[in-house]
Amino acid sequence: MSMTLRVTVLAAALAAVSGTAIAQQSLPLKEMDGIADRDHWLPGEVNQDGALEALQNATAEIAKPYAGKLDKPLQIALIYPSADTSDFWARNYLALTKRLEELEIPFEATEFASRQIEHSLQATYTAQVDQDADIYDFVIFGPSELAIQGDNIEKLAKNENLTTFVWAFHTPLKYFEKQPAGWFDFSSAYGALKICDYMVERLGKDVTYAMNRGIPGITDNQRSGDFKECVAEKGNWNVVYEHYGEYQREGGFEGTSLILQAYPEATVIHNANTAMSMGSVEAQKAVAKEKEIFSTGWGGTGLELEAIRNGELDATPMRMGDDVGAATAEAIKAHLEDRADELPLVFLGRITVAHDEMKVDEIDALEQEAFRFSGVGALSR
C-alpha cells in the first residue's frame, strides 16, 4: 500500500476508533423489547439517532464527488455467494462500482464468489484475504449464513489493515469483540410483515399453506419464521409443511414437487428467496399448477419481477435493491473523509410489495427506482 493511501486509510481507522468503534464497544446504545432473548443487536439498538436517515438521504441524492486524492486505486475484496441464482449480489456489485465512479473514487475490485451452501469455501476466502490484508483496503463479506460465518467476519473485522463491511445481514452479533465497520441490508423481518399484511388482506383468513424455507439461521427465522407467526396471528393461517431448500433452485423445485403431491390442500407456497421461488415455479409449471397456487418470492429481483409479469409468480417483498451497493460506496467515501463516526452501524434499504395485480407501468416504475444503477430487467448470467 502506498504511503499516501496508507495515511488516508489510517486516518479513517482513527476516526472509526474515536467514534463508531467506541460506540460498538458500549453497545447497545439503547434497549428494545426482547433484547435479553436475542444473540444479536437490532438496528435501533446500535444506530446513533439520525445516522441511518442521513446515509439513506446521501444514497438517494446526486453523488457529491470525493474531494481528496489517492495516488493509487482502492483495493476492495468481495467475499459473497454471487454464484447463486439471486441477482442481489450482482446488482449491488454494479451499484457499488457505479456509485464509486460517480463519487470519483478510483478502485479495483476482486471477487471471491461461491454458492450459498459453500460455507467452507467462504472460510478459505476469508483466510486468503486476511493473509493478504496488506493488499486490500476494504473487504465486503456476504455470508452464506451469519451464524456459520460469524467467526470469519470477526477475524476480518479484527484485522487493523482492513475496513470490513457485511452485506445481506442487519443483525450485529453480540459476541463480537469488534464489530465490522458497517452492516448493509434490507430488514427481512420488515419484509416478512409487509408480505404477511398484503397476503392476509388479499387472500383472507383460514388459508392452508406450505413453505420453502432456506437455511436455519437469522435470515430464515425472519423471512419464514416471522411470516409464519404473522399470518397465524392476523389470519389464522395453517402451515401443513415446511421444506428446507437451502436457498437453492433445486430445493425449491423438490420442496414444491413434494407439496403438490403430498399436500394438495395447500393453496399458497411461500418461498424464502429468489432461487427457491424460481425452482418452485418450474415445479408448478411441470404439472400445469402455476395458475392454481399462490406463490411468493423474496426480494423483488429481476427474475422475480419477470415471473410476475409472466403470471408465474404472484407477489414478493421487493427491496429497492441498489440501495445496499450505493450506500456502501457512500460509506467508503465517509471513511476516506474521516467521517466514519457519522455512519450508522446498520444500514437498511426500503421494501415494498410487488404483485401480479399491479399495472405493468407500476412494476416498471418500481423497477426503475430499485435498479437505478444496475439496470432494469433480469441480468444475464
Q: For residue 28, is the peptide bond before it cis, meaning its omega torsion is within 30 degrees of 0?
A: yes
In this prediction, residue 378 carries a pLDDT of 63
Rounded to a whole number of angstroms, the distance between the first and last alpha carbons of the chain is: 34
Q: Are 229 and 197 a contacting pair, CB within 8 Å?
A: no
pLDDT in tens, 318-360: 999 899 999 999 999 999 999 999 999 999 998 999 999 999 9
Spell out the domain ranges in the chain.
Answer: 3-186+321-350, 189-298
Residue type, 302: G
- Say how many C-beta atoms besides its own lie within 10 A of residue 294's C-beta: 18
Mean pLDDT of 277-288: 97
- Is it true that 3-186+321-350 and 189-298 share their CATH fold? yes
Q: Tell me, which fold does domain 3-186+321-350 have in CATH?
A: Rossmann fold (3.40.50)
Greater confidence (212 vs 321) lies with 212
In this prediction, residue 147 carries a pLDDT of 93
What is the rounded (10 degree) CA torsion for 34, 49, 371, 145? -40
pLDDT in tens, 57-66: 999 899 999 9
Which triple of cell numbers denotes residue 292?
392454481
In this prediction, residue 85 carries a pLDDT of 65
In this prediction, residue 78 carries a pLDDT of 98
Question: Could you say which of 3.40.50.2300, 3.30.465.10, 1.10.287.110, 1.10.10.10 is the CATH number of the domain covering 189-298?
Answer: 3.40.50.2300
What is the average pLDDT value for the chain, to the nearest integer?
Answer: 91
